[in-house]
Structure 1
Amino acid sequence: MTKCLVHHLPAIEDPAAEAGAVSLVPVPPSGSEGPLHALIQAIGSTQLVGPLLDQCLRDLSWAQADSSNYFTPEDMARLMVGAVVPHDGHRVLDPACGSGGLLVESHRYVHERVGLNPTMSLRGRELHAPTSQVARMNLWVRGIKADVLPPGDSLTQPEPETYDIVLANPSLNQRDWTQEGGTEQHAGQPGPSVPLDPRWPEDAPPRSSADFAWIQHIAHALAPAGRAVFLMADRVAGSRQAMPRRLRERLLRGDLVECVIALPRRVYGHSQSSACLWVINKAKSARPGWGALDRRGQVLFINARRAFEQVPQSRARRLGDKNTALILSTLAAWRGLPGNGATATPYSDTDGWSRNCSVKEIASRGYSLMPTSYAVEPPGPERDTRSRIDQLKLELTEQFDQMRALELRLLDALEEI
């Protein structure tokens, strides 16, 4: 534990030391030396460092919930990593890495399958400096070699390299994002321009939401056969507004969308927003390591809205091992990947759970990518009520988006007066 503190906590000048010398372990508050020393000794003597650290990270995540700076829960991390199937030797990026949980899970996933220390390359970036330091410590304690870049906003510029795997759980509905320099050219609006950004060659994402920027940033960072998984608010998948519709159309035109999973509320962190997990893939043809079925021109929708369990003695929810395994087995069957048995389980659509759709059908529905519109539950009063509530929530969210966009346009206009 002391070694971990020395390695990861910032150095603090020690006035009692020789001139120019630096103490590597921060000086504790007056009167806390005894209890802090006892705590460090107790933690250092434990044989279960991993579970203890996991619990500390969960507690820290709850403490930061109000700032939306939460960490990805373990079962959600298993689902996200299992959905993109990383392999040994892959280059993996998390552009909003938080505590580094998705990088840790990627390493564990590959290690379990190769039985050796993976040779994969892991890289992460985090906006907040203290959280970035937590990520470094999390990886270091587990003996995982990874490159956590200096704190910074990943959206300010394109990634200089491409990656086989990109995983991201960015803050949902982030507002007032800006490119480097604080300006951007709004689509169809007057305003200061910036040099052409290869991530959005047609129109720049609106300042009112970073969600559209994250999707294009991630897609641009993928290698020719790369794949990615990320969390996105429902409105990005189902909004009928021009910007999200054009973005979905471009993704489908490039045949990048592989699977969209409608998740239960409150199982992916502390946000109250409804969200979907997106899986995008630059090469959906049959090939080793991905699947035996050619899925070009097709998209799998999974409606997992009700796939959750209550955390014992709590009002909190989680996916749980059973639901995580069910989602991954559905995706594996659709790809033609073998499950636990020797052969792959044949895929078939299941009412209310999953449906395979052609890009042509999706285009006929206004390029909507909402799984609940395709994997529809059997008719009944309860389903009709839920569908109406979901539609009203989506319409209200769209109205809020329009209000935010109008507010930013008015502020831009006032700046020019």
Structure 2
Amino acid sequence: MSDFEKQLWKAADKLRKNIDAAEYKHIVLGLIFLRYISDAFEELYEKLQQGEGEYAGADPEDRDEYKAENVFFVPAISRWPYLQSEAKKPDIGKSVDNAMDAIEKENPLLRGVLPKVFARGNLDPTNLGGLIDLVSNVALGDAKSRSADVLGHVFEYFLGEFALAEGKKGGQFYTPRSVVELLVEMLEPYNGRVFDPCCGSGGMFVQSEKFVADHQGKINDISIYGQESNQTTWRLAKMNLAIRSIDSSQVKWNNEGSFLNDVHKDLKADYVIANPPFNDSDWSGDLLRKDGRWKYGVPPAGNANYAWIQHFLYHLGPSGQAGFVLAKGSLTSKSSGEGDIRKELVEARLIDCIVNLPPKLFLNTQIPASLWFLSRNKANGKHRNRTDEILFIDARNMGHLINRRTREFSPEDIQQIAGTYHKWRNPEGNYEDVKGFCNSAPIERVRELGYVLTPGRYVGLPDDEDNFDFNERFIALKAEFEKQLKEEERLNLLIVENLQKVKLE
């Protein structure tokens, strides 16, 4: 699958020409989405047309037939075969915009979601036609149900590639897949309400549904709730979820954001999974000094980290659990009362596990990050009673570079970290501390260290580093450096020699 996705990405990127990646993503993802809903519609359309079994006497143009099966109704001018037949015409951009409009009119759930940017002057009609041909070739010849699944994967892969292409800005709508997989794998959201109050393009929800499916659960066992303050990103989330047949009716947008306008005020979730903006100073904290959510202390107006933690806790049910990403500074900071809030969280026995992450995992920041896991009830009977302990995992040296700037976790890394957490919290887990990697610390120890939560302070050095001999290491490094200097000298002479051989006319 990934080779096919890579080829597809290369071909789409070639057609990009001079269009900015941020704009181009809506064009490409919009077309993939259009093809997906058209395929899903046609699959049901054919069954209704044949009229066999439960579909006997059905009318393929009856909107209610599609509603009953949770399939979007696609009007004739929006169906993929029609757009394919128009692909070589100079006004194809207008045709695609009209197709998007017609779908929104027919399907209230998609109102205001689909991109209508295809007739703009900077998008050459020939390139748009080329893109339509490209998307037409995805899963060509497959059954419609299979093509829908393939298109879902392609959509997700392209989201990640666009995030990489946009670099810093990409991180605002996309959490790297291996980080999402780790969070979900550790939390194990088998059933209940899953909430992400800063949901970006919906990656946490897609991964949660995948987790349930991979463990033979029923997709309907979980329901999702989300909020996003960037409308463009929210539109991506709605498409990303629809392409996976995930109900996104509770994924809401407003531009004030979760602090000022919490659209799920009364929600008590079983799981909160999130990657909020790091160290956000522009969160309107000065307007919320007396907010009821700050049960453990008022967060500083200049940094939202501890506001997010308390917002998550506010929305957790009595046995709810949260897993989220935060800047590593939040583990030690004492400024503006953050140390006091952290102390309260530790003493309230809410912190279950902290994972120190390696650098270069995130696209939009070089700020070191950590994962926090909170549990409302650490003695709830589902796992062992670990009320007076916190698990610390130091994963700083894990993961591998996929390019110079970006690192990701392998499936084995994810299994090792998540497996350690599960062994620790499960009654039959056979958990053991591993020097340099993990340590189960009693609350007493956390008190002694002044409520600092950096895993490195608890896990110690690995055994091989305990025997570290400075003199030996210094001599080895010095010898290596001298060898490199000699090699540099040799190469410089070689360059000079070769330059002398160049004959100028």
State the TM bucket, normalised to the shorter chain: 0.7 to 0.9
Matching residue within 335, 346, 357 for 1:241:
335
Show the 5 A alignment for 1:210-229.
Answer: 210-229=304-323
- For the Cα contact (< 8 Å) 1:97–1:125, is it kept in 2? yes
Are residues 1:266 and 2:350 paired?
Answer: no
Are residues 1:33 and 2:125 paired?
Answer: yes
Name the CA distance, whole Å, in 2 between partners of 1:280 and 1:76. 17
- For the Cα contact (< 8 Å) 2:325–2:369, is it kept in 1? yes
Q: Deviations over 1:271-321 (max 9, x none)?
A: 101111000001111523xx2x2111110000111011121x544211121
Q: What's the counterpart of residue 178 of structure 1?
A: 284
Q: What's the counterpart of residue 129 of structure 1?
A: 231
Matching residue within 404, 413, 416 for 1:326:
416
- For the Cα contact (< 8 Å) 1:132–1:151, is it kept in 2? no
Matching residue within 271, 289, 300 for 1:165:
271
Q: What's the counterpart of residue 135 of structure 2?
A: 43
Name the CA distance, whole Å, in 2 between partners of 1:252 and 1:122. 29
- For the Cα contact (< 8 Å) 1:110–1:118, is it kept in 2? no
Structure 1: which amino acid aligns with 2:252? L
Structure 1: which amino acid aligns with 2:201? S
Are residues 1:299 and 2:390 paired?
Answer: yes
- Identical counterparts, % of pairs: 27
Structure 1: which amino acid aligns with 2:386? R
- For the Cα contact (< 8 Å) 1:64–1:70, is it kept in 2? no
Name the CA distance, whole Å, in 1 between partners of 2:417 and 2:364. 21
Name the CA distance, whole Å, in 2 between partners of 1:82 and 1:247. 28
Q: What's the counterpart of residue 357 of structure 1?
A: 441
Closer/same/farther in 2, CA of residues 200 and 117 from structure 1, 3 Å limit: closer
Show the 5 A alignment for 1:328-407.
Answer: 328-336=418-426, 344-378=428-462, 379=466
Q: Deviations over 1:63-92 (max 9, x none)?
A: 44334514111111111011211122x101
- For the Cα contact (< 8 Å) 1:237–1:244, is it kept in 2? no
- How far did residue 52 of structure 1 move? 1.7
Q: Which moved more, 1:35-44 or 1:363-372?
A: 35-44
Closer/same/farther in 2, CA of residues 172 and 381 from structure 1, 3 Å limit: farther
Tell me the SS of whatever aligns to 1:279: strand
- How far did residue 259 of structure 1 move? 0.1
Q: What's the counterpart of residue 4 of structure 2?
A: none
Are residues 1:71 and 2:165 paired?
Answer: no
- How far did residue 248 of structure 1 move? 1.0
Name the CA distance, whole Å, in 2 between partners of 1:165 and 1:202. 20
Q: Which has the larger radius of gyration?
A: 2
- For the Cα contact (< 8 Å) 1:62–1:270, is it kept in 2? no
- How far did residue 202 of structure 1 move? 5.7
Q: What's the counterpart of residue 139 of structure 1?
A: 241
Q: Which moved more, 1:114-123 or 1:366-375?
A: 114-123
Structure 2: which amino acid aligns with 1:35? N
Q: Deviations over 1:145-181 (max 9, x none)?
A: 22320233112255321100001101112112105xx
- For the Cα contact (< 8 Å) 2:390–2:441, is it kept in 1? yes
- For the Cα contact (< 8 Å) 2:319–2:380, is it kept in 1? no
Q: TM-score, normalised by structure 2?
A: 0.64
- For the Cα contact (< 8 Å) 2:296–2:341, is it kept in 1? no
Higher percent of residues as helix? 2
- How far did residue 269 of structure 1 move? 3.7
- For the Cα contact (< 8 Å) 2:94–2:119, is it kept in 1? no
Q: What's the counterpart of residue 57 of structure 1?
A: 159
Closer/same/farther in 2, CA of residues 225 and 382 from structure 1, 3 Å limit: farther
Name the CA distance, whole Å, in 1 between partners of 2:467 and 2:237. 47
Closer/same/farther in 2, CA of residues 242 and 356 from structure 1, 3 Å limit: farther
Name the CA distance, whole Å, in 1 between partners of 2:183 and 2:416. 13
- For the Cα contact (< 8 Å) 1:75–1:319, is it kept in 2? yes
Q: What's the counterpart of residue 194 of structure 2?
A: 92
- For the Cα contact (< 8 Å) 1:231–1:278, is it kept in 2? yes
- How far did residue 118 of structure 1 move? 2.8
Structure 2: which amino acid aligns with 1:224? P
Structure 2: which amino acid aligns with 1:350? V
Tell me the SS of whatever aligns to 2:373: strand
Closer/same/farther in 2, CA of residues 184 and 287 from structure 1, 3 Å limit: closer
Matching residue within 248, 251, 262 for 1:148:
251
Name the CA distance, whole Å, in 2 between partners of 1:300 and 1:116. 31
Gaps of 5+ in 1: 8-13, 17-21, 186-195, 338-343, 384-417
Q: TM-score, normalised by structure 1?
A: 0.77
- For the Cα contact (< 8 Å) 1:259–1:279, is it kept in 2? yes
Tell me the SS of whatever aligns to 1:149: strand
Higher relative contact order (CA 8 A, sep 6+): 1
Structure 1: which amino acid aligns with 2:239? M
Name the CA distance, whole Å, in 1 between partners of 2:449 and 2:135. 56
Name the CA distance, whole Å, in 2 between partners of 1:113 and 1:138. 22
The number of equivalent residue pairs is 351
Name the CA distance, whole Å, in 2 between partners of 1:46 and 1:106. 25
Q: What's the counterpart of residue 409 of structure 1?
A: none
Name the CA distance, whole Å, in 1 between partners of 2:184 and 2:318. 19
